[in-house]
Amino acid sequence: MVADIVFRRLGEPAERSRARRMAGAGGFSSPRLTGSDDWSGLWRLTANDSNALVAVAATARPSPQFLEVRAIAARGDSLWARLLRELTDTGRAQGAEWLVAGVARADAIAVDLLRGAGFSQNTTGLGLPENGSVVWLALPA
């Protein structure tokens, strides 16, 4: 049921710690992930505490044009899609034109995961930082 799920920022250290564990256990984590990223997530209001956090994302604003996704994980495809919609809406509300993700060049699984969610490897002309060890993917906000 989608009506019992809300999107919100993870403000407490315990929430961010749980989010980092979720992202590390499955999903995507960028080599650009830092301790100062903003974490948000989808919460199932009807679940007990241990199962309430069902999707997480870490983001940063490297420029006004971009909302950079530095980690993302979700329990199921529908939650993954909902989380991306929420991130896109958040980025758009903040004036971002693109959601971007910097993936370790050797991480083919993360590239496939993000491409399957609609991200494109065609980032020519976006002015993203050049780094031989990172592959950039982008999704219009």
- Report the sign of the C-alpha dihedral through residues 80, 121, 135, 104, in that order: positive
For the segment 119-131, what is each residue's pLDDT rounded down to a tens digit?
999 999 999 988 7
Burial class, 45, CB count within 10 angstroms (exposed 0-12 / middle 13-18 / buried 19+): exposed
Label residue 2 by pLDDT band (50, 70, 90).
low
Domain 5-140 falls in which CATH fold? Aminopeptidase (3.40.630)
Reported pTM: 0.90
